[in-house]
């Protein structure tokens, strides 16, 4: 392998891990996006949004990038900003994992919290975006990338993540992934369906998220889903999504803990949620098939929450039934 000449060139080409299932002939593959430099899939869209803004003349050397983020987009932007010489400010709410905020600051990014009191499971996306918009108006030479509606988010995955999947695995039947802005799932779906329109795409959102018409409510899975009151992001392309499902915080987090302890695989909360639903889906299929799942990030960013017994207990998140189910199927 030739040496890389920039950390940016190390974005993408993440490994795929196959998981054996006990009760089905279906094959399950995990696209391990934690192996990107900023430790999540969002590095891909951060790079593409910055590249396109530079091409459009909106970003010039020395500018400040301001973005509302649950953390992973901000880390990706902080990495690229460090390399390209931009200042970076992340507008976050209390939902952002502490580990993510520490990482943003390690790359030289600044953190601004939105004002207001919010419940534990409430995500303040509307307030975050409004704060970022105001700051962009007030701070000279600043630019907001607006990940929810910037189609260079979705565009980032079409020729990267999708291509990496079809180059590694022949004849994928089902793609499953989480959905927040919709960029990663819609973009990957677009790239895969261009080659094989028969691929079934399934979106998984937390119970309480509003992308597929639910009434909405609080949830603790970070980065994924669309909270009550927030508009559906432009990056969600419903025409490419064939089916959808909901996952509880208990299912998501106990799956993360099971895979860490029993399989040595440390994944984040949204990854745990999609993985649980993927195991359930594959285990209920007849015959043979191939299911690939997007694992957005790693568990390293959730050590003080999902992997902390006290936090799990305080939030009533332990559920032995999830472990028992996984024990039978994986
Ligand atoms: C951990 C995690 N999971 C899922 C998502 C949702 O991905 P997307 O915004 O591409 O729909 C994000 C987005 O920030 C994330 O950080």
Residue 27 lies in a domain: yes
Residues taking part in catalysis: 42
Nearest to 212 by CA among 181, 238, 176, 248: 238
Asked whether residue 265 falls in the same domain as residue 207, the answer is: yes
pLDDT at 1: 87
User: Does 279 score more than 80 pLDDT?
Assistant: yes
| Residues 178-208: tens digit of each pLDDT | 999 999 999 999 999 999 999 999 999 999 9
pLDDT at 118: 74
Residue nearest to atom 2 of ligand 1 (CA): 223
pLDDT at 121: 63
pLDDT at 117: 76
Full residue range of the structural domain in which residue 114 is found = 42-147
Asked whether residue 24 falls in the same domain as residue 47, the answer is: no
Question: In this structure, are strands 64-68 and 110-113 parallel, antiparallel, or unpaired?
Answer: unpaired
pLDDT cut 90: percent of the chain above it: 89
Residue 47 lies in a domain: yes
294 in Cβ contact with 41 (< 8 Å): yes
Residue 2 lies in a domain: no
Asked whether residue 276 falls in the same domain as residue 316, the answer is: yes
- Choose which residue among 179, 224, 237, 252 to substitute to test ligand 1 binding: the one with the highest number of ligand atoms within 8 A of its C-beta: 224
pLDDT at 39: 97
Residue nearest to atom 15 of ligand 1 (CA): 223
266 in Cβ contact with 214 (< 8 Å): no
pLDDT at 126: 85
pLDDT at 214: 75
pLDDT at 232: 95
Number of domains in the chain: 2
C-alpha 73 to ligand 1 mean position (Å): 8
CB under 6 Å to ligand 1: residues? Answer: 40, 42, 70, 72-73, 178-185, 223-224, 268, 270, 296-297
What is the pLDDT averaged over residues 222-232?
91
User: Does 116 score more than 90 pLDDT?
Assistant: no
Structure tokens at 278: 């993927």
Asked whether residue 65 falls in the same domain as residue 143, the answer is: yes
Task: Single out the residue in 116, 147, 178 at which a domain terminates.
Answer: 147
The CATH number assigned to the domain holding 73 equals: 3.40.50.1100
Asked whether residue 257 falls in the same domain as residue 321, the answer is: yes
| Residues 48-83: tens digit of each pLDDT | 999 999 999 999 989 999 999 878 999 999 999 999
Asked whether residue 171 falls in the same domain as residue 253, the answer is: yes
Residue nearest to atom 4 of ligand 1 (CA): 224
3-state secondary structure of 289: coil
Residue 153 lies in a domain: no
What is the pLDDT averaged over residues 269-293?
98
Number of the ligand 1 atom closest to the C-alpha atom of 184 = 10
- How would DSSP label each residue in 122-183? ---HHHHHHHHHHHHHHSTTEEE--TTT-HHHHHHHHTTHHHHHHHHSSS--EEEEE-SSSH
C-alpha 286 to ligand 1 mean position (Å): 31
C-alpha 296 to ligand 1 mean position (Å): 6
Residue 293 lies in a domain: yes
DSSP state of 143: E
Task: Single out the residue in 124, 147, 170 at which a domain terminates.
Answer: 147
Asked whether residue 301 falls in the same domain as residue 325, the answer is: yes
Asked whether residue 214 falls in the same domain as residue 73, the answer is: no
Question: Cα-flanking dihedrals φ and ψ of residue 11, to 5°?
Answer: -75, 135
Residue 321 lies in a domain: yes
Residue 246 lies in a domain: yes
C-alpha 265 to ligand 1 mean position (Å): 19
């Amino acid at each position: 392998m030739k040496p890389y000449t920039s950390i940016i060139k190390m974005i993408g080409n993440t490994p795929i891990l196959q998981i054996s299932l006990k009760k089905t002939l279906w094959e399950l593959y995990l696209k391990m996006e934690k192996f990107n430099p900023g430790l999540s899939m969002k590095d891909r869209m951060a790079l593409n949004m910055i590249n396109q803004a530079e091409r459009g003349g909106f970003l010039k050397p020395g500018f400040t990038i301001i973005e509302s983020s649950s953390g992973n987009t901000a880390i990706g932007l902080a990495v690229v900003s460090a390399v390209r010489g931009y200042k970076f400010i992340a507008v976050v709410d209390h939902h952002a994992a502490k580990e993510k905020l520490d990482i943003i600051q390690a790359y030289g990014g600044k953190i601004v919290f939105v004002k207001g009191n919010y419940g534990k499971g409430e995500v303040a996306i509307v307030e975050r975006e409004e704060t970022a918009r105001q700051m962009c108006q007030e701070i000279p030479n600043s630019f907001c990338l607006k990940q929810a509606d910037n189609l260079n988010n979705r565009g980032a995955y079409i020729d990267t993540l999708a291509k990496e999947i079809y180059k590694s695995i022949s004849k994928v039947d089902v793609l499953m992934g989480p959905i927040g802005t919709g960029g990663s799932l819609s973009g990957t779906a677009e790239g895969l369906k261009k080659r094989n329109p028969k691929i079934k795409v399934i979106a998984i959102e937390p119970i309480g998220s509003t992308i597929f018409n639910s009434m909405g409510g609080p949830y603790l899975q970070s980065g994924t889903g669309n909270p009550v009151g927030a508009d559906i992001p432009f990056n969600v392309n419903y025409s490419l999504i064939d089916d959808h499902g909901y996952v509880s915080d208990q299912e998501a987090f106990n799956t993360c803990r099971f895979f860490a302890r029993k399989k040595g695989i440390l994944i984040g909360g949204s990854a745990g949620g999609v993985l649980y639903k993927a195991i359930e889906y594959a285990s209920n299929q007849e015959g043979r098939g191939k299911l690939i799942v997007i694992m957005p990030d790693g568990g390293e960013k959730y050590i003080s929450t999902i992997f902390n017994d006290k936090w799990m207990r305080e939030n009533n998140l332990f559920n032995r039934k999830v472990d028992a189910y996984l024990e039978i199927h994986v």
